[in-house]
Amino acid sequence: MAVTTFHQATGSIHTHGCRSSFGFQSGIRNYSVNMVSKGFGVDARLIARGNCCSGSCRLSVTRASSSHSSVADPVQIPSKNNSSDSKKKPHETALILIRHGESLWNEKNLFTGCVDVPLTQKGVEEAIEAGKRICNIPVDMIYTSSLIRAQMTAMLAMTQHRRKKVPIITHSESEQAQRWSQISSEETKKQSIPVIAAWQLNERMYGELQGLNKQETADRFGKEKVHEWRRRYDIPPPNGESLEMCAQRAVAYFEEQIEPQLLSGKNVMISAHGNSLRSIIMYLDKLTSQEVISLELSTGIPMLYIFRDGKFIRRGSPVGPSAAGVYAYTKSLALYRQKLDEMFH
């Protein structure tokens, strides 16, 4: 897992004998502000650069209190010298993807698939750390798989959010379940975030590999066959799913259920698994089947996308200098893996 760091600095706004549209008085004044990397603010409200009277001053804005706010995106300060600065900013929503924290079978190096295994202590800590990374990004809806490790990750992450809204799992499996879990207070509803669990976001089903470690799997089926199941997009293990099959259900659910929420202005978090999230990223970033096979996602590190004008823009990991630890696919990595495969298989 790549090491990510948080960079913070203190800047100043200087005004020189003029008044901007924000009401700065004449004379020279310094306004201390917090400035964070990639425009992601933790305590900051305004991040400014340049001379505000010249029309070149820029702000980064984090509006954690507004569910339809822009997510730490640079905007231009309007000024009387630059009328084009006042153009309306495109509507944006946030999409956060989190692979669940380490599970008990991850720790034992077992094929987990759709077996419902909880988090380790390390996995709990990873989920909490993920929550700290996204604590300023608005979240209106949460989608998880039906597996406990993804649900634990989502719930633990939200304990760190600045809004302090309560994530509540919705129950729609029957009319009685809906009635019994309804909330009667409108004020309480406003302080809640619906959590929708969907089996379509479950991990790839590994069939007869589930519960086996790598050595047992190689002994039973042979190294070549196991390598083929793990590194081919369209070949499933016995009685299991290929990545292609996993992608068909995960992407279809994303298009039918999640994307309409983003279009309606909702900020969405998805807590799921390595293969279901790889499938969604393949759709978002238009990756090929070969590229997605080599895509690696670290446990417990969120990835942020901005949904703007019908397009998804990848921003990497919040409060991180790059996406390297989250989105590790590169051509050089693919070539390196190919060399290893040739050497050992």
* 275 belongs to an annotated ligand binding site: yes
- Cα dihedral across residues 192, 198, 201, 205: positive or negative: positive
227 catalytic per annotation: no
The strand ranges marked E within the chain are 8-11, 33-36, 46-49, 58-62, 71-76, 92-99, 141-144, 166-169, 192-197, 268-272, 302-308, 311-316
Residue 113, annotated ligand binder?
yes
What is the rounded CA–CA span in Å between residue 5 and residue 177? 44
Task: Decide if 100 is catalytic.
Answer: yes
Buried b (16+ CB within 10 A) or exposed e, 272-291: bbbbbbbbbbbbbeebeeeb
336-340, long-range: CB < 8 A, 24+ apart? 337/294
Closest to 247 measured CA to CA, from 285, 292, 215, 212: 292
The reply, when asked if residue 99 is annotated as ligand binding, is yes
Query: Residue 286, annotated ligand binder?
Result: no
Supply angle C-alpha 320, 322, 323, rounded to 5: 100
Is 105 annotated as a binding-site member? yes
Tell me whether residue 112 is annotated as binding: yes
Q: For residues 11 and 33, what is the distance between their CA atoms, to the nearest angstrom?
A: 6
Three-class DSSP category at 72: strand
Write down the catalytic residue from 92, 126, 161, 203. Answer: 203
* 205 assigned to a ligand binding site: yes
Distance of alpha carbon 273 from alpha carbon 152, whole angstroms: 12
Q: According to the annotation, is 104 in a ligand binding site? A: yes
Is residue 222 a known part of a binding site? no
Which residue in 92, 100, 161, 273 is the catalytic one?
100
CA distance 78 to 166: 37
Is 312 in contact with 95 (CB distance < 8 Å)? yes
Q: Say whether 206 counts as a known binding-site residue.
A: yes
101 among the known binding-site residues? yes
Q: Give the number of other Cβ atoms within 10 Å of residue 36's Cβ.
A: 21
Was 106 annotated as part of a binding site?
yes
Task: Judge whether 278 is annotated as a binding position.
Answer: no
Q: According to the annotation, is 203 in a ligand binding site?
A: yes
* Residues noted as catalytic: 100, 203
Annotated binding site: 99-106, 112-113, 149, 203-206, 214, 230-231, 274-275
Annotated binding site for substrate: 99-106, 112-113, 149, 203-206, 214, 230-231, 274-275
